[in-house]
């Protein structure tokens, strides 16, 4: 990633000053795909994701142990940043065409 800033003084007859406030740098891990509902990471959202979804919902550590190459954020179906009971209905909606 590259960010470039420019500051100019027009006309060029004084000291130019610039500042940047409220900058946040966040690590993003791209090695785990995020596909809402695909809790076993087989590339499809289907009935085989039900047990892993329940595990992610009830015991995050056990889910991570059972599916180390799968992103637990796939269980955040409603996208609110939390894995909780509010993800259950949207998960069911993914399973029912």
pLDDT tens-digit map of 14-62: 777 788 888 887 765 555 567 899 999 999 999 999 999 999 999 999 9
Q: Which two tokens stand for residue 11?
A: 């006309």
Please give the pLDDT value at position 16.
78
Residue pair 32/70 in contact by the 8 Å Cβ criterion: yes
Residue 37 domain flag? yes
- Helix extents (H) in the chain: 50-58, 60-66, 88-95
Residue 2 domain flag? no
Residue 72 domain flag? yes
DSSP conformational letter for 37: T
Please give the pLDDT value at position 23.
80
For the residues 7-14, what does the mean pLDDT come to? Answer: 77
Name the residue with higher pLDDT: 83 or 33.
83
> How many domains, the chain?
1
Q: Which domain holds residue 65?
A: 8-97
Residue 80 domain flag? yes
For the residues 62-73, what does the mean pLDDT come to? Answer: 95
Q: How far from each other are the two terminal CA atoms of the chain, in whole angstroms? A: 39
């Amino acid at each position: 990633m590259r960010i470039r800033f420019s500051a100019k003084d027009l006309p060029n007859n004084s000291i130019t000053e610039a500042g940047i406030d409220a900058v946040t740098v966040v690590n993003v891990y791209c090695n785990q795909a995020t596909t809402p509902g695909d809790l076993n990471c087989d590339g499809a959202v289907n009935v085989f994701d039900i047990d892993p979804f329940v595990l992610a919902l009830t015991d995050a550590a056990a889910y991570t142990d059972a599916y180390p190459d799968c992103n637990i954020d796939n269980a955040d179906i409603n996208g609110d940043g939390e894995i909780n009971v509010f993800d259950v209905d949207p998960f069911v909606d993914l399973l029912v065409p």
